[in-house]
Structure 1
Amino acid sequence: MNKLEQLKTMTEVVADTGDIDAIAQFKPQDATTNPSLLLKAAQLPKYRNLVVNCIRAAQLDNGSSQDQLNTCMDQLSVAIACEILQIIPGRISVEVDARLSYDTDATLRRARHLMALFEQRGIGSERILIKIASTWEGIQAARQLEQEDIQCNLTLLFGFSQAAACADAGVFLISPFVGRILDWHKKHSGRDHYPPEQDPGVLSVTRIYDYYKQHTYNTVVMGASFRNLGEIEQLAGCDKLTISPALLAQLAAEESPLERKLNPNNRSAPQAMLIEPEPRFRWSMNEDAMATEKLAEGIRNFAVDQRQLELLLVKQADLLTCA
Structure 2
Amino acid sequence: MNQLDQLKKYSIVVADTGNIELIKKFSPQDATTNPSLILNAIKLPEYKSLVLKSIEYAKKKNIDFKKKISLASNKISVDIGTKILNFIPGRVSTEIDARLSFNKNLCIYNAKEIISMYEENGINRNRILIKLASTWESIQAAKILEKENINCNLTLLFSFAQARACAESGVFLISPFVGRIYDWHKNKYNLENINSKNDPGVKSVKKIFNFYKKYSYKTIIMAASFRNTCQILELSGCDYLTISPILLDKLKSNFNKINKKLHVTTKNKIYKNKITEEEFRFEHNEDIMATEKLSEGIRQFGYDQKKIEEIIIKNI
C-alpha separation in 2, matches of 1:173 and 1:58: 30
Q: CA deviation at 1:188?
A: 1.2
1:183-209 per-residue CA deviation (whole Å, 9 max, x = no partner) reads 110111121231111000000000001
1:233-281 per-residue CA deviation (whole Å, 9 max, x = no partner) reads 10001000000000000000000001100111389xx997662110000
Runs of 4+ in 1 over 4 A off after TM superposition: 270-274
C-alpha separation in 1, matches of 2:108 and 2:56: 25
Give SS of 1:174's match. strand
- 1:1-323 correspondence to structure 2 within 5 Å: 1-265=1-265, 275-317=274-316
Letter in 2 for 1:307: K
Choose 53-62 or 97-106, whichever is displaced more: 53-62
C-alpha separation in 1, matches of 2:141 and 2:42: 28
Give SS of 1:156's match. strand
Does the CA-based 8 Å contact 1:3-1:254 persist in structure 2?
yes
Give SS of 1:293's match. helix
Give SS of 1:87's match. coil
| Closer/same/farther in 2, CA of residues 274 and 263 from structure 1, 3 Å limit | farther
C-alpha separation in 2, matches of 1:139 and 1:63: 29
C-alpha separation in 1, matches of 2:6 and 2:266: 20
Does the CA-based 8 Å contact 1:186-1:193 persist in structure 2?
no
Give SS of 1:218's match. coil
Give SS of 1:62's match. coil
Does the CA-based 8 Å contact 2:216-2:266 persist in structure 1?
no
Give SS of 1:315's match. helix
| Closer/same/farther in 2, CA of residues 271 and 292 from structure 1, 3 Å limit | farther
What stretches of structure 2 of length at least 5 have no aligned partner? none
C-alpha separation in 1, matches of 2:46 and 2:209: 39
Letter in 2 for 1:304: Y
Q: CA deviation at 1:121?
A: 1.1
TM-score (structure 2 length as normaliser): 0.98
Q: CA deviation at 1:60?
A: 1.2
C-alpha separation in 1, matches of 2:49 and 2:31: 22
1:94-113 per-residue CA deviation (whole Å, 9 max, x = no partner) reads 00100000000000000011
1:272-315 per-residue CA deviation (whole Å, 9 max, x = no partner) reads 76621100000001111011100000000000000011101111
Does the CA-based 8 Å contact 1:52-1:316 persist in structure 2?
yes
Does the CA-based 8 Å contact 1:13-1:30 persist in structure 2?
yes
1:9-49 per-residue CA deviation (whole Å, 9 max, x = no partner) reads 11000000000000000000000000000000111111111
Letter in 1 for 2:159: G
Letter in 2 for 1:182: Y
Give SS of 2:258's match. coil
Instruction: Give percent identity, aligned residues only.
Output: 49
| Closer/same/farther in 2, CA of residues 259 and 187 from structure 1, 3 Å limit | same
| Closer/same/farther in 2, CA of residues 305 and 26 from structure 1, 3 Å limit | same
Q: How many residue pairs were aligned? A: 315
C-alpha separation in 1, matches of 2:100 and 2:273: 27
Give SS of 1:259's match. coil
Structural RMSD (CA): 1.4
C-alpha separation in 2, matches of 1:47 and 1:229: 30
| Closer/same/farther in 2, CA of residues 117 and 25 from structure 1, 3 Å limit | same
Match of 1:321 in 2: none
C-alpha separation in 2, matches of 1:15 and 1:40: 15
What stretches of structure 1 of length at least 5 have no aligned partner? 318-323
Choose 211-220 or 43-52, whichever is displaced more: 43-52
1:122-155 per-residue CA deviation (whole Å, 9 max, x = no partner) reads 1111100000000000000000001111100000
Letter in 1 for 2:76: L
TM-score (structure 1 length as normaliser): 0.95
C-alpha separation in 1, matches of 2:271 and 2:182: 26
1:156-207 per-residue CA deviation (whole Å, 9 max, x = no partner) reads 0000000000000000000000000001101111212311110000000000
